[in-house]
């Protein structure tokens, strides 16, 4: 079972922000985002299953490909859904928020069980270059998505960013933000934009 930290009400909340860290980090890395979530929104930050690199954890290896090997990504997606099924209310709606590799995992949740997902946020994140079970449904329903990234990010390969730039507008109702001079990181400006986005997802006008 995946390790996590969460708000006290996460197990029975009707809606949950799911915070998914990047490569080489752990569940504590994005827990600070809880302060930027709308008041009353439950949250959980989940640790990836694979140890390393260094003292951290990863959702899948990046040794052989810029994207992550398809079978490994899909296996990680299954593990994450197993965590959701075991730790969240059966009908809980999710708002996955992921940084970098965690952003890909957020997109995978949407591309596999979109009925459970209200919207996703990718922070310096990307999507996988392989068809997924619910892509046809997404093309019709176009759920909400946030994509923030910096002009100085040299960690995400250009080809990966270009794929994501094509995929997201085709399959989601995308809110896209580009931050001048920002590297592979999250800025206060991005956090403010993310806060507004999540609030609009959970409390639409």
- Asked if residue 201 lies in contact with residue 144, where contact means CB atoms within 8 angstroms, the answer is yes
Give me the pLDDT at residue 67, please.
Answer: 66
For the stretch 17-45, pLDDT in tens is 999 999 999 999 999 999 999 999 999 99
- Residue 64: pLDDT over 80: no
Mean pLDDT of the chain: 94
Q: What confidence category does residue 93 fall into, taking pLDDT thresholds of 50, 70 and 90?
A: very high
- Residue 66: pLDDT over 90: no
- What is the set of domains in the chain, with CATH numbers? 4-202 (3.40.50.1820)
Output the CA–CA distances (angstroms, integers) from residue 124 to 29, 93, 100, 138, in the order listed: 14, 23, 5, 21
For the stretch 134-152, pLDDT in tens is 999 999 999 999 999 999 9
pLDDT greater at residue 1 or residue 92: 92
- Average pLDDT rounded to a whole number, residues 179-198: 98
- Average pLDDT rounded to a whole number, residues 58-70: 78
- Average pLDDT rounded to a whole number, residues 117-135: 96
For the stretch 99-123, pLDDT in tens is 999 999 999 999 999 999 999 999 9
- Residue 205: pLDDT over 60: no
Count CB-CB contacts under 10 A for residue 81: 15
- Average pLDDT rounded to a whole number, residues 66-95: 92
For the stretch 75-88, pLDDT in tens is 999 999 999 999 99
- Neighbouring residues of 107: CB distance < 8 A, sequence distance ≥ 6: 98, 120, 122, 125, 126, 127, 128
Give me the pLDDT at residue 65, please.
Answer: 63
């Amino acid at each position: 079972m995946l390790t996590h930290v969460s708000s006290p009400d996460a197990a029975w909340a009707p809606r949950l922000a799911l915070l998914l860290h990047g490569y080489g980090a752990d569940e504590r890395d994005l827990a600070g985002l809880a302060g930027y979530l709308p008041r009353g929104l439950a949250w959980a930050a989940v640790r990836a299953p694979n140890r390393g690199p260094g003292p951290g954890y990863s959702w899948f290896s990046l040794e052989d490909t810029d994207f992550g090997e398809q079978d490994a990504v899909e296996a990680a997606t299954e593990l994450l859904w197993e965590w959701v099924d075991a730790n969240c209310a059966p009908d809980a709606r999710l708002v996955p928020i992921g940084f970098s590799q965690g952003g890909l995992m957020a997109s995978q949740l949407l591309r596999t069980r979109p009925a459970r997902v209200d919207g996703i946020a990718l922070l310096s994140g990307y999507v996988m270059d392989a068809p997924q079970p619910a892509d046809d449904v997404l093309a019709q329903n176009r759920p909400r998505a946030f994509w923030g990234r910096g002009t100085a990010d040299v960690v995400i390969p250009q080809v990966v960013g270009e794929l994501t730039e094509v995929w997201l507008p085709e399959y989601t109702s995308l809110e896209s933000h580009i931050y001048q001079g920002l590297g592979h990181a999250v800025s206060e400006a991005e956090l403010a934009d993310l806060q507004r986005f999540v609030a609009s997802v959970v409390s639409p006008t």
